[in-house]
Chain A
Amino acid sequence: MASRCLFSTPTAATGNNSVVIVSSSPEFPSINELISKTSRKPALRSGGNAAPIPTDALNSFTTAVNVLRSSRVDDNDPATEAQRPRSSSPAPLPPWLVIELSPEAATANNVPEPKQKAPKKAAGTRRKKKDGLTAEPATVDSVATIAVPVADAINVEKPAKKPGAKKAAAKATANGQTVLPKGKVTTPAAKEKPSRKKSENVGKHFITEAPAPKPAPKPAPVPLEDEPIALEQAIRRRTSWTPPPENFPPNLSISPSAIKELFSPASGTDQSPKDSNNNVFKTLVDTYTRCAEEDRPAELPEAKTNADVLGKRKLTEMVALRSDKSKTPEASPTKPKAPKKKPRTITDLATAAYRVPEEIDASTSGESSKQETLLGYLGVGDGQPGAVTKQLGKNGKAPKKPAKPRASKKKAETQKQVLLSPKSALSQVAKQDFVFGTASQLATEGDTELLRALHEAMKASNVPDKDPFASSSPVNSDLATRRRVGNKLWAAGARADDGDLLDLEVLDLTESPQNARGQMSDYTLPRLSTVAEEDKEKQAPASNVSRIHIEIQSSADALDSADSVWKFGASRSHFFSTQGKTISEMRQEREQSRSDKLSDQQPPIVTIDLDFEPPPSNQEHNLLLEQSQSSSSPKVQAEGPTRPKYELLTDAQLAKEIASYGFKAVKKRQVMIDLLDKCWTSKHQTGPKTTMAQPLTKQVTSESAAAAPPPPRPRGRPRKDSTVAAAPPSPRARGRPRKDSTTAAAPPVEPASPAKRSRGRARMERSLSPPKATKAKATAALKFAFDPLPPALPTVSTPKRRQGTGRPSAALEIADSESDSDPFASSPMSSPGKLDILSSPPDMDISINEGDTEMSLLDASPTSQQKVLFSYISKAVTTAPRTIDPANPSWHEKMLMYDPIILEDLATWLNSGQLDRVGYDGEVAPVEVKLWCESKSVCCLWRVNLHGKERKRF
């Protein structure tokens, strides 16, 4: 029993007193008895007497428990407390201690600094007390058992650790403790000064004594009994009074262990008391060791036992002063403090703020649900309760387990605080009504009704989107939420007073053809607009989605920041992917309705397109729609296949292809492919131009018809990462929206015939599964766009006009800012600087190839065709008139003088009539000139060196 008590006690000391009692109680058969005994305080004394006697351990122990309980009870009633100490010295002691010391403990817990100092002082005081005690005849031995624990409350562990000291300690404790009550009652503060001197001497003495007798506990059950009693009491007291020094990490470990033990005893008792006994012994040792650690810092190892009470008093006083300032509500003198004492380490303190909610959660899971925290939302059973239960079950290792749950708790808590569940977050956001506008605008709109109506309309429009989970498939929750919020905000911002979208142009071309047309018709065709309006009204609910989408796009256009564009691009794609189906449906509906009234709208639409070119983003959107619908315009498809798949060619083949275009060898495969793409596009541009323009218009038209050409693959890459992972190198110049002046100039008048084509809804669904890269614009701007698909090219066209107005920053969106006529405008690969260079083929060649002069991708040996050319070059060079100015030799003379030949210059010279002069009809590329030079052992080089700078020396 004693052993059990001991075991339970250490845990109790660290953990909550109440819990300890409960847990320990089952172990003791005599608990009931104890409870009954609790009422009798005198019994305690007798128990105290028993302390020296091992055989009576049980009784004594029980008495100690009783005493503690009684003390608690007393604590609750201040009156009783006051009475008891005075009335009866032994019994009152516990209450006293509890009352007075508890503040100390609390303060000590809260304030680490005072502790260190305090213990020393306390030690001093204790020693004094000891002296006083010793000097005073130890009248009450019986009390000793009880008194000892009380006195040791701070050092509870110590006594346990120094079991050997029992005898000496017992004596000392007996004396001191017995005395203590008196001293307390009489003068806590007054005695201190005189006593100090003595105390020091005595303290040393005690110190020397204590360490020596360690081995005791195991060998003799008797000492165990004695000590256990003291320990239990001490633990409780200690918990209530004095926190273990904060500095010690062991405290933390202890506390968790205590928790375990708390639970463990309950289970353990059920299992087998014997085992528990064994465990107790082990634990005893552990506890002792632990105590020693804790005590060391305090530097009050042995002295504590006797003098603790007085020392504590002093501590209490000192602490009280400080505690008043810093005292937390927890520190209240009554016992409830004990549980709060736990967080004594710095980490505990730091996390204390977070802990409270945890505990609450643990205690009441209902609260968590109320809070709708993420955890709650997720239905996390992991919460503390679960962890606790686990701990209970295992019981094995006290320190480790608790640590884990704490960490988890922290995280969970922090998350809780920071993150709301998507639902709640959305709802919160939804509750906020934002009106966007300049201050002046907002101010001028005095009409509150208008604003309210606006808000309502906004809300209404937002309603369908609110539920994040309602959406078909949010790939990325973050994205989804973000997007949604953005929708709302931008939707709000884009709305005019009447709730219509501010940017009519944007509306026109946006994915919802109807709306767009309606708006556009406002400008051009009033009739149409009315019709569109009607349609809108009809489809009001369904159209919300599409409308929102449109709004976003418009806003994106309005934004000058590339980031916004990017975001929207991404979000758009997602949105579209999720919503595409509905949109298509809507579109169908609109078409039908429209078809009734506007059978011949198509031509006007075309004109509209010319006038109002859709913002690139819108176009993209259109593109997406079209893609989703997967109805492809024949022309586009036809184009795609024609272009050779350079990706499939070998390096050598690519090199030859490049050579065929008159460029010199390029090192990198991607660059080669890119270059070839550009060449191909430029080559076929004259034809394709019209086609390209057509797709644009077609898009609009086809949209109305709900038939759009689906590019086989997604044109833009969603992200760079994805691009890398997904498709190795597909540097397509293609992706770039090519703004052909032709589009504006020569609008292809496309009859609606293609439009009538199938809705392609089924296809659309199919195509929807992969999120289309809608962000082509944004991506292009960010240079991420590698367009795998050549066919996509035409579809991407961005109206020139848009650039002027809506283009955010030219720097970002190179493609758009590019000159319309430039065939090479759309090379995602090349840096902006290089793009400029690319404008002219030869320059581009230089820029791209310059690094590769020495690289052998091209066959060094000239082909037969080249040989002919070479002969002409040779002829042209050699037959050129010799120079008259020695400082300005002819090319031939330069070669003869071994001058390094600048290939570009020579090519230019050859192309400037020299080849014609010798009968060669055509032009020569610098690459070919290079080959020629190399075949003739003429030293040649590019104008620019590898670093992209002009050579300064030859």
Chain B
Amino acid sequence: MAIQSKPVPALYTVYILRSTVRHASLYIGSTPHPPRRLSQHNGLARGGAARTSRPSLRPWEMVGLVSGFPSMVAALKFEWALTNPHLSVHIPSDSRLTISTQRKANGQPRRPSKSLSSILSNVHLLLRVPSFARWPLKLHFFAPDVYAAWKKWCATAKEDLRPTLPVVTDFGTKPLSDTENAADSGSTTASDSEVEMTQPEDQEATATPWGIHALPLDYEPIKEYVAKGQAVFEFEQEGDCVVCQQPITSGEGIHAICSNNTCEGVGHLSCWSRHLLTASEGTGTSSSDNIIPIQGECPKCHGEVKWSDMMKELTLRLRGRKEVEKLLKTKRRKGAVAAKTRV
């Protein structure tokens, strides 16, 4: 490939924007930096979409988003599909929910008007379609009503999302007094209880940032993981492949490392994928059918590993020297500071 790929982005999202003034006004966009993008939509920064430039509709809020896109291309594809559910080729014709009934002047089918339910249903659909089903996506909801609508749709949907797809909610707790928090927490907790996976950080960070502002915009969450990888591969401590047990020649080939902190299991990329596919996913579908694993168990530490995290670290290590340096720079400083203090 002539064009060098970038590392898997720390965050890339496709978001659902809703006017706080007029809830029927919705917008779908994609961004690697939701807070910045939101400020753009709200006119606080340059570059907002024209569709969201009407003052009467501002401010906008991101009521939900899909994160975890492994590349900008992937996010854009998903965004386009979600914006044009009546056209997207990723949606099988028999399962298409949104069907265009009109045609534009140029002969192209006209996009049916969007509603929250239609968007959510299509999100649900797109998360199931083969094109996106195995992407390491994650669904976030930041508005209770939206999440309620989502749940409602999930109840009526024919198929369920793959169980490994995380759906998280973060309705935030207004930065008020604790008492009020408690009062409000009733509903939020209730909703939280329904969440299949809850980000522990969210609850902890409720005091400060929440919602899109709590999303990790950089590789900070995997910093230690990256550091571990750097250390292992820098000092050529790969050892044997955890899967095929064959020795790994450092510098040759692509090797992934277990994402668990303590585990330094390294293996060939293909070995890892094969292992994860066969082991963790062999239950439902034939392993041979899938190419990309989602998550599984580390053969070494038997801990849960997510393929997206592993690939993030791997691509960072292979292609993101700059990012890694940036990421680890602070650490070194801290370390340096610590060292100084020690001294």
CB of B341 within 8 Å of the partner chain: no
Residue in chain B with minimal CB distance to A884? B252
Interface contact B84-A954, CB-CB below 8 Å: no
> Of A871, A888, A936, which contacts B292 at CB under 8 A?
A936
A interface footprint on B62-106 (CB within 8 Å = 1, 0 otherwise): 000000001111100100110010011111111000000000000
Q: Which residues of B contact A951 (CB under 8 A)?
A: 3
Q: Which residues of A contact B3 (CB under 8 A)?
A: 951-954
CB of B253 within 8 Å of the partner chain: yes
Chain B residues 223-276 with CB under 8 Å of chain A are 251-254, 268-270, 272-274
Query: Could you say which of B30-38, B130-138, B176-184, B214-222 contacts chain A?
Result: B130-138
Interface contact B134-A900, CB-CB below 8 Å: no
Q: A884-B252, A937-B135 are in contact. Are A894 and B90 (CB under 8 A)?
A: no
> Of B92, B129, B315, which contacts A897 at CB under 8 A?
B315
Q: A859-B92, A887-B318, A938-B291 are in contact. Are A899 and B269 (CB under 8 A)?
A: no
Tell me the complex Cα distance, A951–B3, Å. 8
CB of A660 within 8 Å of the partner chain: no
CB of B339 within 8 Å of the partner chain: no
> Of A882, A888, A898, A939, which contacts B270 at CB under 8 A?
A882
A interface footprint on B273-313 (CB within 8 Å = 1, 0 otherwise): 11000000000000011111100000000000001100100
Interface contact A857-B89, CB-CB below 8 Å: yes
Tell me the complex Cα distance, A890–B271, Å. 13
Residue among A860, A905, A952 facing the most chain B CB atoms (10 A cut-off): A860
Interface contact A854-B314, CB-CB below 8 Å: no
Q: A882-B253, A884-B253, A937-B132 are in contact. Are A954 and B73 (CB under 8 A)?
A: yes
Shortest A646–chain B CB gap in Å is 18
Interface contact B88-A874, CB-CB below 8 Å: no
Interface contact A882-B254, CB-CB below 8 Å: yes
Interface contact A874-B291, CB-CB below 8 Å: yes
* Residue tally, chain A, CB below 8 Å to B: 46
Q: A883-B253, A953-B3 are in contact. Are A934 and B91 (CB under 8 A)?
A: no
Residue in chain A with minimal CB distance to B7? A897
Interface contact A939-B92, CB-CB below 8 Å: no
Shortest B80–chain A CB gap in Å is 5
Residue in chain A with minimal CB distance to B75? A939
Q: A878-B270, A954-B3 are in contact. Are A938 and B73 (CB under 8 A)?
A: no
Residue among A665, A857, A877, A935 facing the most chain B CB atoms (10 A cut-off): A935
Interface contact B89-A898, CB-CB below 8 Å: no
CB of B23 within 8 Å of the partner chain: no
Interface contact B74-A939, CB-CB below 8 Å: yes
CB of A910 within 8 Å of the partner chain: no
Tell me the complex Cα distance, A854–B82, Å. 11
Interface contact B5-A899, CB-CB below 8 Å: yes
Interface contact A854-B91, CB-CB below 8 Å: no
Tell me the complex Cα distance, A874–B70, Å. 21
Q: A856-B91, A892-B270, A954-B6 are in contact. Are A936 and B134 (CB under 8 A)?
A: yes
Interface contact B131-A900, CB-CB below 8 Å: no
Interface contact A861-B71, CB-CB below 8 Å: no
* Residue tally, chain B, CB below 8 Å to A: 53
Q: Which residues of B contact A934 (CB under 8 A)?
A: 89-90, 130-131
> Of B72, B88, B274, B291, which contacts A895 at CB under 8 A?
B291
CB of B8 within 8 Å of the partner chain: yes
CB of A346 within 8 Å of the partner chain: no
Q: Which residues of B contact A888 (CB under 8 A)?
A: 1
Interface contact B93-A900, CB-CB below 8 Å: no
Tell me the complex Cα distance, A954–B274, Å. 26
Shortest A631–chain B CB gap in Å is 41
Q: Which residues of B contact A890 (CB under 8 A)?
A: 270
Interface contact B87-A939, CB-CB below 8 Å: no
Residue in chain B with minimal CB distance to A861? B92
Chain A residues 820-856 with CB under 8 Å of chain B are 853-856
Interface contact A896-B273, CB-CB below 8 Å: yes
Tell me the complex Cα distance, A365–B290, Å. 95
Q: Which residues of B contact A875 (CB under 8 A)?
A: 288
Q: Which residues of A contact B254 (CB under 8 A)?
A: 882-883, 886, 889, 893, 897
Shortest A625–chain B CB gap in Å is 39
Q: Which residues of B contact A900 (CB under 8 A)?
A: 5, 71, 73-74
Q: A856-B93, A882-B269, A937-B133 are in contact. Are A895 and B292 (CB under 8 A)?
A: yes
Shortest B162–chain A CB gap in Å is 11
Interface contact A856-B88, CB-CB below 8 Å: yes
> Of B71, B92, B253, which contacts A898 at CB under 8 A?
B71
Interface contact B92-A860, CB-CB below 8 Å: yes
Interface contact B72-A954, CB-CB below 8 Å: yes
Chain A residues 892-919 with CB under 8 Å of chain B are 892-900, 902, 905
Interface contact A854-B133, CB-CB below 8 Å: no
Interface contact A882-B73, CB-CB below 8 Å: no
> Of B1, B74, B272, B318, which contacts A902 at CB under 8 A?
B1
Interface contact A954-B5, CB-CB below 8 Å: yes
Tell me the complex Cα distance, A203–B103, Å. 79
Interface contact B134-A937, CB-CB below 8 Å: yes
Q: A874-B289, A882-B254, A939-B74 are in contact. Are A898 and B91 (CB under 8 A)?
A: no
Interface contact A854-B87, CB-CB below 8 Å: yes
CB of A280 within 8 Å of the partner chain: no
Tell me the complex Cα distance, A886–B249, Å. 12
Tell me the complex Cα distance, A952–B72, Å. 12
CB of A941 within 8 Å of the partner chain: yes
> Of A854, A886, A898, which contacts B311 at CB under 8 A?
A898
Q: Which residues of B contact A894 (CB under 8 A)?
A: 1, 5
Shortest B145–chain A CB gap in Å is 31
Tell me the complex Cα distance, A589–B297, Å. 93
Q: Which residues of A contact B307 (CB under 8 A)?
A: 896
Shortest B8–chain A CB gap in Å is 6
CB of A858 within 8 Å of the partner chain: yes
Tell me the complex Cα distance, A951–B87, Å. 23
Q: Which residues of A contact B293 (CB under 8 A)?
A: 896
Residue among A854, A889, A941 facing the most chain B CB atoms (10 A cut-off): A854
Shortest A892–chain B CB gap in Å is 6
A interface footprint on B108-146 (CB within 8 Å = 1, 0 otherwise): 000000000000000000000111111110000000000
Q: Which residues of B contact A884 (CB under 8 A)?
A: 252-253
Tell me the complex Cα distance, A934–B129, Å. 9
Shortest A130–chain B CB gap in Å is 76
Q: Which residues of A contact B77 (CB under 8 A)?
A: 854, 939, 941
> Of A885, A896, A937, which contacts B269 at CB under 8 A?
A896
Q: Which residues of A contact B311 (CB under 8 A)?
A: 896-898
Q: Which residues of A contact B253 (CB under 8 A)?
A: 882-884, 886
Shortest A508–chain B CB gap in Å is 48
Chain A residues 109-151 with CB under 8 Å of chain B are none
> Of A855, A893, A905, A939, which contacts B70 at CB under 8 A?
A939
Tell me the complex Cα distance, A158–B310, Å. 106
Chain B residues 141-200 with CB under 8 Å of chain A are none
B interface list, Cβ under 8 A from A: 1, 3-6, 8, 70-74, 77, 80-81, 84, 87-94, 129-136, 251-254, 268-270, 272-274, 288-293, 307-308, 311, 314-315, 318
Which 9 residue pairs are nearest across A and B when measured between Cβ atoms?
A898-B70, A937-B134, A856-B89, A934-B131, A900-B73, A936-B291, A884-B252, A860-B92, A939-B74
A interface list, Cβ under 8 A from B: 665, 853-861, 871, 874-875, 877-878, 882-890, 892-900, 902, 905, 934-939, 941, 951-954
Inter-chain pairs besides A883-B253, A939-B73, A954-B73, 20 sampled, C-beta below 8 Å = A854-B80, A854-B81, A854-B84, A854-B87, A854-B90, A855-B87, A856-B87, A860-B91, A878-B270, A882-B253, A882-B268, A887-B318, A892-B273, A896-B269, A900-B5, A934-B130, A936-B130, A937-B130, A938-B292, A953-B3
**Mind listing 26 A-B residue pairs with CB under 8 Å?**
A854-B80, A856-B88, A856-B89, A858-B89, A860-B91, A860-B129, A878-B274, A882-B254, A884-B252, A885-B252, A886-B251, A889-B269, A893-B270, A895-B292, A896-B291, A897-B254, A897-B314, A897-B318, A900-B5, A902-B1, A936-B289, A937-B131, A939-B74, A953-B3, A953-B6, A954-B72
